[in-house]
Amino acid sequence: MERELALEFVRVTEAAALASGRLIGHGDKNGADQLAVDAMRSVLDSVHIRGTVVIGEGEMDEAPMLYIGEKVGAGDGDEVDIAVDPLEGTNLVAKGMPGAVAVMAVAPKGHLLHAPDMYMEKIVAGPEGVGVIHLDAPIEHNLRELAKASHREVSELTVVLLDRERHEEQIRRIREAGARVKLISDGDVLPAIQACLSHSGVDMLLGSGGAPEGVIAAAAVKSLGGTMQGRLIPEDDAQQERLQQMSVMDTRHILDLDDLVQGDDAFCVATGITGGDFLKGVHYGKGYATTYSVVMRSKTGTVRFIKTQHRMVRMAAK
């Protein structure tokens, strides 16, 4: 893929953030999500790619646009697979809480795992964790080894998890081992990115979250030189059948970074909607709006932070 596409992909997530940001704090998570979807889909058609949505808003009969299998782009240029989450953190936008983003991952055709809509057990860490942590290793072991590799004490590490009842045992063991716990209410893509960045205040992401979000996060982790492992968790017969269709016969099978994102050329792009530790949210001023985005490319390891001022055109009252 051409590096010039990076800015075009940023335009896509900016549009989703600007649209959905209008409903921050309005309590309308579905309305905000629909605005993000509409805006993202519209701008995607101006990008010079031949894209296929492999992770999106659902199957064709579930979503009117950005459905799995939908063709997007201007119809010329590189043939790519696209994973999108136009609004990760719908509840965060509805409640005016930090951490919501518009995010997407792009890779050459066939290079993104077509992750089904189910849970994925995940572990993520930065470059110090490569070859050091393992999904099946005891939590205490992973913390000790990561601390050793990063020349710190376990007490200096921070592990982020979704604040869910299913994680109570992991939270207890992390605390007993002496590490800090940071709980989040929604959205684990940005925390996965933060786990790969020095001085972010996050050293590891752990626990189960959405599998589609796991693939998007993997594109960022690969760009940042980090490490990630995942395991799909089917909850019913239909999900088990989906795994068999993917030739994943053993539910204990661990997916590594190259299983989630093949090759060395993937982009991950995110634009903040509500302000957080990593990305500022959309700011609306008089006649303009400001967005804050990050674009990462695995081929070069480049990470660009982009601040953009947008002139806002108001519709005349009818």
Task: Domain ranges for the chain, please list them.
Answer: 5-109+267-311, 119-260
For residue 61, say whether it is annotated as part of any ligand binding site: no
Question: Using CA atoms, how far apart are residues 231 and 236, in angstroms rounded to an integer?
Answer: 16
For residue 89, say whether it is annotated as part of any ligand binding site: yes
For residue 4, say whether it is annotated as part of any ligand binding site: no
Inter-CA distances, 33 with 17, 21, 85, 293, Å:
10, 10, 9, 19
H/E element, 297: strand 288-297
Residue 256: how many other CB atoms lie within 10 Å: 12
For residue 186, say whether it is annotated as part of any ligand binding site: yes
Contact 158, 194 (CB under 8 A): no
For residue 256, say whether it is annotated as part of any ligand binding site: no
For residue 75, say whether it is annotated as part of any ligand binding site: no
For residue 187, say whether it is annotated as part of any ligand binding site: yes
**Domain 119-260 is of which CATH architecture?**
3-Layer(aba) Sandwich (3.40)
Do domains 5-109+267-311 and 119-260 share one topology? The answer is: no
Fold of 5-109+267-311: Fructose-1,6-Bisphosphatase; Chain A, domain 1 (3.30.540)
Question: pLDDT tens digits, the chain, 318 residues: what are they?
Answer: 677 899 999 999 999 999 999 999 999 999 999 999 999 999 999 999 999 999 999 888 788 899 999 999 999 999 999 999 999 999 999 999 999 999 999 999 999 999 888 999 999 999 999 999 999 999 999 999 999 999 999 999 999 999 999 999 999 999 999 999 999 999 999 999 999 998 899 999 999 999 999 999 999 999 999 999 999 998 888 888 877 776 665 667 899 999 999 999 999 999 999 988 889 999 999 899 999 999 999 999 999 999 999 998 654 333
For residue 57, say whether it is annotated as part of any ligand binding site: yes
Start-to-end CA distance of the chain, whole Å, equals 45
Inter-CA distances, 182 with 158, 185, 195, Å:
7, 10, 12
For residue 258, say whether it is annotated as part of any ligand binding site: no
For residue 213, say whether it is annotated as part of any ligand binding site: yes
For residue 272, say whether it is annotated as part of any ligand binding site: no
The pTM (predicted TM-score) of the whole model is 0.93
